């Protein structure tokens, strides 16, 4: 059966595969479109499995907010390079996954990857994208937040995403606080929320440093308390100077608006992923070998 350009075009639109791959699949399937789709999907999964071990620390943080402003979802989708992260197909996939999280509220990552996305599972859509773009791609983590107050959302260049649950105040304040969290990276809302092990570890370090001063114990204790107070101001949201007005702490800013922060989630692209040393020559040879 003769394979027309229109048939190749249709198969490319359905699978995202390259032109030559589509033509070859159609020839092998004797023009049977569904059979060609199945062949390319199997091929895509095989390619995805081969690329699964490669480090993917680039990508996007995507935030989707519900129309009523009371719930939002954020997701990190990774690629190996920033180049692929800018591709329309990658951006579209990431946005659809974020919307799916917002609409369906999956229990965990496994549940999300099994959900339907345009007629196939999110996992199969991911594998098809790996085959089409030639890089390891992964949906790493997500959050979904609901607030009965003001929900602040801030996205910094698709690399840092913040959601803030603000009680009281208004939409502008909620966004300002979210922007502050993106810039200042607080560890917790207040001292009460700071993990005990973090506080104890810092106190031990400060105590050891102060003890080396040779000063009397009562002076050392005052030094420890002073440095600990400074540490808490640096790492807690309420104690930090507000980024838009450093003369005012976030705590005072909230007090002035009769507002409080119930919680926040800050997600930064690639945090915690160990990146390998890039070897350009090796990368080029891998591409030549079709790995």
48 confidence band (pLDDT: 50, 70, 90) = very low
- Evaluate if residue 257 carries a pLDDT over 70: yes
Average pLDDT over residues 56-64: 92
- Of the listed ranges 126-140, 166-180, 235-249, the least confidently predicted one is 126-140
Average pLDDT over residues 127-151: 92
Residue 276 pLDDT? 56
Average pLDDT over residues 127-132: 87
Highest mean pLDDT among 12-21, 229-238, 257-266: 257-266
- Evaluate if residue 195 carries a pLDDT over 90: no
- Evaluate if residue 53 carries a pLDDT over 60: no
Instruction: Determine the topology of domain 191-255 in CATH.
Output: GTP Cyclohydrolase I; Chain A, domain 1 (1.10.286)
46 confidence band (pLDDT: 50, 70, 90) = very low
Q: Burial code of 252-276, b = ≥16 C-beta within 10 A, e = fewer?
A: ebbeebebbbeebbbbebbeeeeee
Q: Are 267 and 74 in contact (CB under 8 A)?
A: yes
Tell me the per-residue pLDDT of 145-165, one tens digit each, with 9 for 90 and over: 999 999 999 999 999 999 999
Residue 49 pLDDT? 47
5-10: long-range pairs with CB below 8 Å, 24+ = 7/31, 7/33
- Of the listed ranges 33-47, 147-161, 225-239, the least confidently predicted one is 33-47
Query: Which structure tokens are listed for 181?
Result: 């969290």
For the chain, residues classed under CATH 1.10.286.20 are 191-255
Of 137, 128, 150, which is closest to residue 46 (Cα–Cα)? 128
At the second CATH level, the architecture of 5-51 is Orthogonal Bundle (1.10)
220 confidence band (pLDDT: 50, 70, 90) = confident
55 confidence band (pLDDT: 50, 70, 90) = low
Tell me the per-residue pLDDT of 1-28, one tens digit each, with 9 for 90 and over: 788 988 988 887 776 666 788 888 899 8
For the chain, residues classed under CATH 3.30.479.20 are 54-146
75 confidence band (pLDDT: 50, 70, 90) = very high
Residue 44 pLDDT? 59
Predicted TM-score (pTM) of the model is: 0.74
Q: Who wins on pLDDT, 37 or 174?
A: 174
CATH class of 54-146: alpha beta
Q: What is the C-alpha separation between 153 and 172, in angstroms, rounded?
A: 10
For the chain, residues classed under CATH 1.10.8.10 are 5-51
275 confidence band (pLDDT: 50, 70, 90) = low
Average pLDDT over residues 199-208: 83
Taking each helix axis from N to C end, the angle separating 122-133 and 88-104, rounded to the nearest 10 degrees, works out to: 170
Average pLDDT over residues 279-287: 56
Q: Give DSSP secondary structure letters for 111-173.
A: HHHHSEETTEEHHHHHHHHHHHH-S--EEEEEEEEE-SSEEEEEEETTTEEEEEEEESS-HHH
């Amino acid at each position: 059966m003769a394979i027309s350009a229109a048939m190749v075009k249709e198969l490319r639109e359905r699978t995202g595969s390259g032109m030559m791959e589509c033509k070859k699949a159609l020839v092998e399937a004797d023009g049977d479109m569904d059979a060609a789709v199945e062949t390319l999907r199997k091929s895509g999964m095989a390619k995805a499995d081969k690329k699964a071990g490669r480090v993917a620390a680039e990508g996007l943080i995507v935030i989707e907010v519900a129309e009523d402003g009371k719930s939002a979802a954020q997701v990190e989708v990774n690629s190996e390079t920033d180049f692929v992260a800018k591709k329309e197909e990658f951006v579209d996939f990431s946005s659809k996954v974020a919307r799916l999280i917002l609409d369906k509220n999956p229990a965990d990552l496994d549940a999300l990857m099994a959900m339907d996305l345009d007629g196939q599972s999110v996992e199969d859509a991911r594998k098809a994208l790996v085959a089409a773009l030639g890089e390891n791609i992964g949906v790493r983590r997500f959050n979904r937040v609901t607030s009965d107050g003001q929900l602040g959302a801030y996205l910094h260049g698709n690399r840092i995403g913040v959601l803030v649950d603000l009680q009281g105040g208004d939409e502008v304040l909620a966004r300002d606080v979210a922007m502050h969290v993106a810039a200042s990276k607080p560890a917790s809302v207040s001292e009460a929320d700071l993990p005990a092990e973090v506080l104890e570890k810092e106190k031990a370090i400060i105590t050891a440093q102060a003890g080396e001063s040779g000063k009397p114990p009562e002076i050392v204790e005052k030094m420890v308390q002073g440095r600990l107070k400074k540490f808490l101001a640096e790492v807690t949201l309420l104690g930090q100077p507000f980024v838009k007005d450093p003369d005012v702490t976030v705590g005072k800013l909230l007090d002035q608006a009769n507002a409080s922060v119930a919680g926040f989630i800050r997600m930064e692209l690639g945090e915690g992923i160990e990146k390998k040393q890039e070897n350009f020559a090796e990368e080029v040879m891998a591409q030549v070998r079709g790995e």
